[in-house]
Amino acid sequence: MVRILDTTLREGEQTPGVCFDNHIKLAIADMLDHVGVDIIETGHPVVTAEIEHSVRQIASRGLAPLIGAHARSLRRDIDVALNCGVGFLGIFYCVSNDRLQHHQTTLPRVIEKITEMVAYARSGNPRLRIRYTPEDTVRSEWENVVEAASEAVRAGADIISVADTTGYMIPGTKRSMYDYVSRLRDDLAVRSAFPQIAVHCHNDRGLALANALDGYRAGAEIIDATVLGLGERAGLVDLATLLAVLQSDFNEGQHWNLRELPRLYDTVSRYAGMEIPPLMPLSGKNVFTHCAGIHTQAALKNPLHYQSLDPGIIGREAEIALDHMSGNAAVLFALEKIGRGGLSPEHTERVIGKVKETGRMGRVVNQDELRHIVNFITNERENPLDRQPDHRLFTFADPQG
Ligand code: HCA
Ligand code: CU
C-alpha cells in the first residue's frame, strides 16, 4: 500500500507569490485529513515565526495523517521542528561533488554532519519518522548518494527520499526513476540498509506524474504531491491526478475520499491566487466536457466511448458543451435538458444554426443562453422572475451506471 505525502504547505508555499495565512493552512490541513493522505508536510518552521506557529498548531490538532516538518541538517532547525511536536521530520542535504566543492567541504565531513543530525533528531524522539533527502538525488554521484543514504539509515533515518529536484528524469531512458529506485534499494540492501523509499518528482519536463508512477512501480512506498502541483518552478506532482490514477488504475487507496478534492482545490486555488487551468486533469473545468458532434453523440449513448476516467470518483458529472462544433444530437439533448424539447423541426434547425454561430464567436452556449436563443427564435416571452439564470453546461449521467 503506497503512502501519500502532501507538501502543499511546504513545497507549495515556495511557489512565487504564494503565502497562506495560518487560518487557511489549518483549513487545508483539515481537508487533507478528510481526503485521507498519510503525511502532511506543514512547513520549515525555522523560516518564520508564523510558519513555526502553524506547524505547531497543525501538529497538535489530532489529525489522522502524520504531521511533518522540514529541516536543514542543523541542530537549530531540528530543535525548532521537534519543539513543534511533529511526528515526521524531513532533513535534507545535497551530496553532489558540485555542491560539496561549492561549500568547500568533503563527502566524509558532510556525512558526519548528516548522521550526527539524524541521530540527534532520533534521540529527541524515539518514535519520530525521519526522512533523509540527498537534495538533487538523481543528478548527484551515485556512490555519494548510496554512501550518505546508508549512513543516514544507520544513524536512524527510516526513509530515504529520491528527489528529482529539477524534473530531470525521463521514463524508459537512462534517466529512469524506475531503474533508480530499484538500484538504490538493491545497493542499500547490500549495505544492510532497508529504508522506505520516497519519491519527490518535479515537473520541469511535464513528467512528474510519469516519474512518480515509475518510482511507485519500482516499489517506492511514499509519493510526494501538492494540490494543483504547486511548488518551485513548474511545481510537483498534482495530488488529485496522482490519487485518481493510483485508485482507478492500481487499486490503491480505496479509503481515499476523492470527493473532498474539489473543495480542497477551490480553497487552495483561491488563497494561492492561482486559477485552476481549464485543462488540468481531474480538476480543470473542461476535463469532463464533450464538445465535437461525433464525440457528444457517442458519449451520450455511452460516456465510456470517450472517457476512461469516471468523473463520479471526484463527485463531478460528464457534460456537453454547445459551440460551433455541436451536432444535432447535442443540441436536441440540451433542449430536453432545459425543458424545451419538442420544438418544430424548423425552429430546431434555426436553434442549431444560432448555437453554431455563437460558437464561432468564441463562446460556449450555456443553459441560460440556450433559453435566450429559443425565446429569440420562437419569439416567445419569458417572465424573468420565473427562474434564476443558470450558467452551467448540460450534464448527463452515465446511462450504464
Ligand atoms: C527544497 C528542495 C526539495 C527538498 C525535498 C526534500 C527538493 O525546496 O528544499 O527535502 O525531500 O525538491 O529537492 O523540495
Ligand atoms: Cu521539491
- Ligand 1 neighbourhood includes 90 CB (under 6 angstroms): yes
* CA 30 – ligand 1 centroid, Å: 23
- Ligand 1 neighbourhood includes 3 CB (under 6 angstroms): no
Domain ranges of the chain: 3-272, 289-396
| Closest residue to atom 8 of ligand 1, CA basis | 11
- Ligand 1 neighbourhood includes 11 CB (under 6 angstroms): yes
| 211 touches 201 (CB < 8 A) | yes
Is 295 tagged catalytic? yes
Q: Positive or negative CA dihedral for 235, 128, 79, 99?
A: negative
Digits of tens for pLDDT over the chain (401 positions)? Answer: 999 999 999 999 999 999 999 999 999 999 999 999 999 999 999 999 999 999 999 999 999 999 999 999 999 999 999 999 999 999 999 999 999 999 999 999 999 999 999 999 999 999 999 999 999 999 999 999 999 999 999 999 999 999 999 999 999 999 999 999 999 999 999 999 999 999 999 999 999 999 999 999 999 999 999 999 999 999 999 999 999 999 999 999 999 999 999 999 999 999 999 999 999 999 999 999 999 989 899 888 888 889 999 999 999 999 999 999 999 999 999 999 999 999 999 999 999 999 999 999 999 999 999 999 999 999 988 876 777 888 999 999 765 54
CATH superfamily of 3-272: Aldolase class I (3.20.20.70)
**Ligand 1 probe mutation, 5, 7, 10, 11, most atoms within 8 A of CB:** 11
102 CB-near residues (< 8 Å, 6+ apart) = none
- Ligand 1 neighbourhood includes 133 CB (under 6 angstroms): yes
What b/e readout covers 81-98, taking b as 16+ CB neighbours within 10 angstroms? bbebebebbbbbbbbbee
- Ligand 1 neighbourhood includes 137 CB (under 6 angstroms): no
* CA 148 – ligand 2 centroid, Å: 19
User: How much is the pLDDT for 398?
Assistant: 63
* CA 251 – ligand 1 centroid, Å: 28
State pTM to two decimals: 0.96
**Ligand 1 probe mutation, 133, 136, 162, 204, most atoms within 8 A of CB:** 133
18: nearest Cα among 267, 278, 282: 267
Task: Catalytic residue, from 295, 305, 324, 347: name it.
Answer: 295
What is the 3-class SS of the chain, one letter each residue?
A: CCEEEECCCCCHHHCCCCCCCHHHHHHHHHHHHHHCCCEEECCCCCCCHHHHHHHHHHHCCCCCCEEEEEEECCHHHHHHHHHCCCCEEEEECCCCHHHHHHCCCCHHHHHHHHHHHHHHHHHHCCCCEEEEECCCHHHCCHHHHHHHHHHHHHHCCCEEEEEECCCCCCCCCCCCHHHHHHHHHHHHHHCCCCCEEEEEEECCCCCHHHHHHHHHHCCCCEEEEEHHHCCCCCCECEHHHHHHHHHHHHCCCCCCCHHHHHHHHHHHHHHHCCCCCCCCCCCCCCCCEECCHHHHHHHHHCHHHCCCCCHHHHCCCEEECECCCCCHHHHHHHHHHCCCCCCCHHHHHHHHHHHHHHHHCCCCECHHHHHHHHHHHHCCCCCHHHCCCCCCCEEECCCCC
User: How much is the pLDDT for 399?
Assistant: 53
| Closest residue to atom 12 of ligand 1, CA basis | 165
* CA 222 – ligand 2 centroid, Å: 14
303: buried, middle or exposed (CB in 10 Å: 19+, 13-18, 0-12)?
buried
User: How much is the pLDDT for 303?
Assistant: 87
- Ligand 1 neighbourhood includes 12 CB (under 6 angstroms): no
Rg of the chain in Å (alpha carbons): 26
Q: Cell numbers 443558470 label which residue?
A: 390
- Ligand 1 neighbourhood includes 15 CB (under 6 angstroms): no
Question: Quick one: which atom of ligand 1 is closest to the CA of 202?
Answer: 12
